[in-house]
Amino acid sequence: MTVALDRQRKVITGNAAAAYAAMLCRPDVVAAYPITPQSEVIEQLAKFHADGDLDCEYVTVEGENSAQNVVCAATMAGGRAFTATSSYGLVYMYDAMFNTAGYRAPVVMINVNREPPGIHAVCSGQQDMISVRDTGWVQLIVEDCQEILDTTIMAFRLAEDHDIQLPVIVNYDGYYLSFLAESVEIPAIAEVDAYLEVLKSQPSRPRLIPGEPLGCGSHGIGMGYVELRKKHMAAMERVKPKLEEIDREFVQAFGRSYGGQVEEYRTEDADIVLVTSGSAVGTARTVVDAKRDEGVKVGLVKLRLYRPFPVERLSSALAGKKAIGVLDRSICFGWDCGPLYMETLAVTPRIGVIPMLSFIDGLANMDITQEHISRMIDDIHGASRGLPYQEVTWLP
């Protein structure tokens, strides 16, 4: 045993944090295929496995599509399974992802955000996660290395919950978080065992094992198909309150909270709000504080849950505000704006028509700087005061 499985604080990269979290949750099966900027996740897991710290079946698959099928089937047999990917790998498992979600397989997957194929790029961007938003998976996005570790643990708790039984992706920005080393508190494995213990007392889900004539993957005919789709949708909706509940449990167990579906930062008395996700949130906090010092009543909403879309929490955070800006690290083909922006626009019936601005920044590892966010806030502020504004702005 080389890794101390007691609680410890270490300076580790985002990728290492993901690997620690997965290891602490004791997966039965891990499927591994490398892709930049994810590779260190599976390398660290291989090291844990080789050193006897991770007792699992470590399957060195020949491609990400296979990785997804391995973990889906393993969970259908009754196991806990984990994989990690990014970008090209994520889209390569596209057909298998539908399988996993449709089977209600509680797979947990790390996706290190990177631009997908189309324009060859080995760099950060959220387009990959956007491109799989309709596969029926739960999607979370995190801000820093601690949150990577904590959210991955929460992801197993969420995915395997009897009320949910859906696969979960934990997304984090490639390069900005994958290779960033931060001080991270790593729980003791016994603490994680205790946190996940509640799952054992829940009703068990069906499992494909010999001796129990059970089929997985039946043809859905007519209303049989419709029923499954409706149930899947309903399970998605249950994720929203469940994530809040899980966050409360997490605070009790580990002393850290992330606010559940969204985190609201200085929004209560704000006139204007910037909505964003991922590592840019860290930068945005700094700029929001600076603008507040200048007298601008600006707040920040950090979107943690992307699928299902946190309609209610977002509406309540944005209600009564004078103007909203949404910062996307991706684009929405066909709508000429950012995708999170487009989905935020859809809450208009709940909050009334107010100026909403789309900011597209951070594609292809172009930094989202404090100066950029300052300009965004100025634009939102101008809009809130009735000045003419541009609906969609690409930065830099």
Partner 1 sequence: MAEQRKRQPKVCDYYKNEDQFSPGVAFCAGCALELNLRFISRVLGKDIIFVGTPSCSAPVLHGQNAAAWHRHGYYACTMTGVASSASGLTRYYQKAGIDATVVCHTGDGCAQDVGFQTLSGAAERNEKMIYITYDNEGYMNTGIQQSSATPFGASTSTTPSGSASRGKTTGSKNMPLVMAMHDIPYVATATLSHLEDYAKKLVKAKEKAKEGFVYLHVFCPCVVGWRIPVDSSIQVCRAAVRTNYFPLWEVDEDGYRVTQPVKDPRPVGELTGMLGKFKHLRDEELAILQGQVDHRFKVLQALCAGSA
Residues that bind partner 1 (CB under 8 A): 28-29, 31, 56-57, 59-63, 65-74, 76-79, 81, 95-96, 99, 208-222, 224
Question: Is 60 or 370 the residue whose CB approaches partner 1 more closely?
Answer: 60
Q: Which is nearer to partner 1, 225 or 394 (CB)?
A: 225
- Nearer to partner 1 (CB atom), residue 74 or residue 158: 74
> What is the signed CA dihedral for 287, 364, 134, 301, rounded to 10 degrees?
0
Q: Which of 264, 387, 357 minimizes the C-alpha distance to 318?
A: 264
Q: Which is nearer to partner 1, 56 or 360 (CB)?
A: 56
- Determine the Cα–Cα distance for residues 55 and 70; give it in Å rounded to an integer: 17
Compute the least distance from the CB of residue 22 to partner 1, in Å: 15
Nearer to partner 1, 66 or 365 (CB): 66
Task: Specify the residue, 70 or 164, whose C-beta has the smaller distance to partner 1.
Answer: 70
- CB-CB contact of 115 with 364 (8 Å): yes
Closest-CA residue to 44 (of 114, 194, 149): 149
Specify the residue for token string 């996940």.
196
Least distance CB 41 / partner 1 (angstroms): 19
Q: What are phi and psi of 375, to 5 degrees?
A: -60, -40
Q: Which two tokens stand for residue 127?
A: 């387009």
Q: What is the smallest separation between the CB atom of 12 and partner 1, expressed in angstroms?
A: 27
Provide the minimum distance between the beta carbon of 58 and partner 1 in the complex, in angstroms, as a whole number.
9
Instruction: Tokens for 344, please give them.
Output: 């935020």
Amino acid residing at 111: N
162 vs 207 by CB, closer to partner 1: 207
Residue 233 φ/ψ, nearest 5 degrees:
-60, -45
Strands 181-186 and 8-13, sheet pairing: antiparallel
Q: Could you tell me which residues come within 8 angstroms of residue 80 by beta carbon, excluding any fewer than 6 positions away?
A: 25, 26, 27, 28, 29, 106, 156, 160
Residue closer to partner 1 by CB (options 59, 154) is: 59
The helix (run of H) or strand (run of E) holding residue 81 is strand 81-85
**Residue 81 or 324 having the CB closest to partner 1:** 81
Query: How far, in Å, are 52, 100, 123 from residue 229 at the CA level?
Result: 41, 13, 35
Residue 230, SS3?
A: helix
- Provide, rounded to whole angstroms, the least separation between the CB of residue 203 and partner 1: 19
CB of 66: closest distance to partner 1 in angstroms?
4
Nearest distance in Å: CB 60, partner 1: 7
> Reduced to 3 states, what is the DSSP secondary structure of residue 44?
helix
Q: What are phi and psi of 328, to 5 degrees?
A: -110, 140
**What is the smallest separation between the CB atom of 94 and partner 1, expressed in angstroms?**
10
In whole angstroms, the minimum distance from the beta carbon of 209 to partner 1 comes to 6
